[in-house]
Structure formats: C-alpha cells, structure tokens
Amino acid sequence: MRNDSVFAHIDDALLPVLEELRRREPIFHTPAFGTTRADFERATAPDYWEVGASGCRYSREFILRALDKNPPADAATVGWETSDHALRRLGPDVYLFTYTLRQHERLTRRATIWRNTAEGWHILYHQGTIVTAEENDTMP
C-alpha cells in the first residue's frame, strides 16, 4: 500500500532547507553538488561513508577514487528523476533528506544525512536501497 503523505511529510519550517538540499541530490550527480574532486571533498565530511544499493559499505576515500576514475553522470542530462522528497531534522543543523530516484528502469530509495556548517553543507552518510516493487510501501 502506497501512502506518500506518510513517508514524504515535511514540516513547513523546513521547506527552505528541503529546497536547498533537493538541488544537491542525487549526490555526486548534480552540478549544484559539485563536479570536481575538490568539490566532492568539501561536500563530504572527513568520516563520510555510504551503503550502496548493493548493500556494500564504501569509505569516503573509496568513493573519491571511484569518482576520479569514472566521472559521474549529470542526473538531469541522462534523464534520472527524483520524487517523494522529504526532510527531517535530526539535531541542531543535522538533517535526514530522503527521496526516490528513478534511473530509467532502476528504482531506489535514497537517504542522506546532511550537516550545515559555517563552511557549507557536508554529507555525513548516504544510503541507496533498490526497490523491487513500487507497491511495497506500508504505513508505519
């Protein structure tokens, strides 16, 4: 049963933050996030790590090396679409941003933990999970 209002509810006070972060996602695949290794280093916390859609865990250094070898595609240029954007404040200046990413036939749910600092936005953690059927959502 799908119920996007449960999973994509956003406090009105967070709408400006949601819009700022929405422009930076999908991470590594949008010019607003950055296009160079220096951009990616600035945008990720030193202890950043992620869990890929495969379930494998990746360190910040592994991701940076992979991006050096294979520059990321621009999501908009290749036709990827995001939807179901949501945002939850986890603590002072720390937010959980979630959304659905459609990469043609591949559908994933994404979650990124962002921290707003004096130097700008930093990602602490990211995870992608493959969706096997769009009708799998259940209300909590």
pLDDT for 54-112, tens place per residue? 899 999 999 999 999 998 889 999 999 999 999 999 999 999 999 999 999 899 999 99
pTM over 0.75: yes
86 domain-assigned: yes
60 domain-assigned: yes
Is residue 23 within 8 Å of 120, Cβ to Cβ? no
Report how far apart, in Å, the C-alpha atoms of 104 and of each of 5, 48, 52, 80, 82 are.
Answer: 24, 28, 18, 7, 11
138 domain-assigned: no
40 domain-assigned: yes
Range of the domain at 17: 4-133
95 domain-assigned: yes
105 domain-assigned: yes
Looking only at the bridges linking them, the beta strands covering 44-51 and 57-59 are antiparallel
**Each residue's pLDDT tens digit, 35-56:** 899 999 999 999 999 999 889 9
Number of domains in the chain: 1
- Which CATH number goes with the domain that contains 95? 3.10.450.50
